[in-house]
Amino acid sequence: MTDMRTAFIDTANALLDENPRTALVLADISVAQFASASHRHPDRVLNVGIREQLMIGVAGGLALTGLRPIAHSYATFLVDRAYEQIKLDLDHQGVGAVLVSIGASYDGSAEGRTHQSPGDVALFDSLGDGWTVRVPGHPDEVAPLLRNAATSDDPIYLRLSEQRNAEAYPDATGLRVIRRGLTNAPLVVAVGPMLDPTVAATEGMDVTVAYTHTPRPLDTPGLRALANTDVVLVEPYLAGTSSALVSRALADVPHRLLALGVGQTDLRRYGDPADHARWHGLDADGLRRSISGFLGSVGG
């Protein structure tokens, strides 16, 4: 069964062959998977070694020459470590790139805190509203999102994860209703791989569940059309990352918001991704406790 990383590698290899504008900048991660492409396109597949800041600087330079660079590594190295270069060499220069991460919030939890990046999307938010953020929930969403990004000159962050939903929704750029509640039912928005745990957690509840793999830009019209008094936001990164955007979109609508995601506190624990989902209350049981407590009832 194909995972998101494999889907990215297969699609990026194809893009390098198909489109002479496509370039790839690596920092030792996934180098073996692009070895053949580097022989075919030595001027467009570059490995800078364990120098993530340089990777972003090179991507910015390639973008200035008219190429469409893809930079790839673990989220914590690609975003957290290289944030200043993203801010200066891409954002401040006004050039775009496709940044593709693996590892997500805690896929690499067995490696410790060095491989955990729950705050990556919040860092992009600090740059303003120019970045598009894609958070696929299924491997089959990766290829169309990457191909779409490769045809653009905009700055785009593609956040891959080992966690996946059972079904793909490639068209869920905006909010797609997965399960509709009764009139005026609370709205539960699940981002990326949080859809399946959210659907399981809300089984039997009178709520509308909507899904998106594109939290930036937030689908404000869709949110306003679906939201009533109570809104629950379930994100696979830092809890509350999208709270300000939801509140701004609903500024003239009386509402309550529950924002669920990875907790602010560093747990200082290893474990596997399932452990961390449970510790942060992001498994189905934890989500059900939080959502039912917020809404006051688990019944329909």
Torsion of CA 213, 265, 275, 281, to 10 degrees: -60
Is residue 294 scored above 80 in pLDDT? yes
d(CA 77, CA 280): 23
H-state helical runs in 151-267: 195-201, 220-226, 243-249
Name the average pLDDT for the chain: 97
Whether 300 shows a pLDDT value over 50: the answer reads: no
**Which are the contacts of 94, defined by CB distance < 8 A and separation ≥ 6?**
none
For the chain, list the domains and their CATH numbers.
4-159 (3.40.50.970), 176-294 (3.40.50.920)
pTM: 0.97
Q: Measured between alpha carbons, how far is 118 from 176 in angstroms, rounded to an integer?
A: 24
Contact 268, 262 (CB under 8 A): no
Q: pLDDT value at position 298?
A: 41
DSSP-derived letter for residue 209 is: E
CA 236, CA 93: separation in Å to the nearest integer? 30
Per-residue pLDDT at 126 exceeds 70 = yes
Count Cα atoms within 13 angstroms, Cβ side, for 99: 35
Rounded to the nearest 10 degrees, how much is the dihedral formed by the CA atoms of 183, 174, 84, 92?
-120
